Amino acid sequence: MVSIISLVTGRAGPSGFGSASTAELVTEGIDASHLTVLITGGASGIGLETARVMAQHKAHVIIGARNMEAASRAKHLILKHTPSARVDVLQLDLASTRSVRAFADSFKALNLPLNVLINNAGVMFCPYQQSEDGIEMQFATNHLGHFLLTNLLLDKMKETARATGVEGRIVNLSSIAHIHTYRHAILFDDINDKKRYSDKRAYGQSKLANILHAKELSRRFQEEGVNITANAVHPGLIMTPLFRYSAISMRILKFFSSFLWKNVPQGAATTCYVALHPAMKGVTGKYFADCNEIQPSSHARDEMLARKLWDFSNKLVNSAASSKA
């Protein structure tokens, strides 16, 4: 796991970067003018910083956001920082498969290529509730919505990679919290079990799913010979709107562990590194923290679990679709 010494000192790892590196630093000198980058949850926190840095490097940035007012403010902020930035915003509620499908249709209607997909949005530690489709909210938003979105955009990414010869990249935002999940990793038998619900373990479950999703995507791409990579990242501990359900307890924790926390530019660094850096060419199915590859939990390395999650997710998505038919 990530060295505490490295976290505290910011000491660089094999990549040349570490916990103190910022998104601007790890992308210095990179020209992304030929790339279209789609970021979910790009209206605030590390998603906004990721979008800003991508736009600064001349990528065409598409922000998917549930709150369109916040997304418009984010676009304005990016344009203020980089007047020549190419930024579009589209509405996306990852807790609704209907919204995800509408978003994918809206994106395709723009007739743009798609080089980089950053599955960044999420919710954290929320009280028990179900999504519009009747799925436990953290699993629905953090994993299932991104699973469906990625599948709906895969043909576009494959087409872009084939036509341009430029490697496509998918980055899933996970968390070190993936190690703190339910006893059997994922509640396949009853994902909506309210009696067993733990806001922390449910979050860990969804973050484990993010890693397994990237792992299975990577396996499938390699099997197909597709020029797209898929990786997962842990951004670090950052005080962002994600903590709205546990703001007081998190501030207390931060007070006693301030040396472990990052600011937002540092929190966006690993995402930007994995999405843009030339050193990441051909690297796939891995897990990164502080811009360096690290080993995730044993569950996160389980190929059979990854395949089982893929099939389970497909069933949930198909069930949601049939119920609305």
Active site residues: 197
Q: Do residues 48 and 77 lie in contact, with contact meaning Cβ atoms separated by under 8 Å? A: yes
Which residues, at least 6 apart from 202, have a Cβ–Cβ distance to it below 8 Å? 136, 138, 139
Task: List, in sequence order, every residue forming a beta bridge with 64; answer none if it has no partner.
Answer: 40, 90
Q: Do residues 39 and 51 lie in contact, with contact meaning Cβ atoms separated by under 8 Å? A: yes
Neighbours of 4 (CB within 10 A): 10
Instruction: Give the HSE-up count for residue 74: Cα atoms under 13 Å, Cβ half-sphere.
Output: 31
Q: Do residues 221 and 212 lie in contact, with contact meaning Cβ atoms separated by under 8 Å? A: no
Instruction: Say how far apart CA 173 and CA 169 lie, in whole Å.
Output: 13
Q: Give me the DSSP letters along 163-182.
A: HH-PPEEEEEE--GGGGS-B
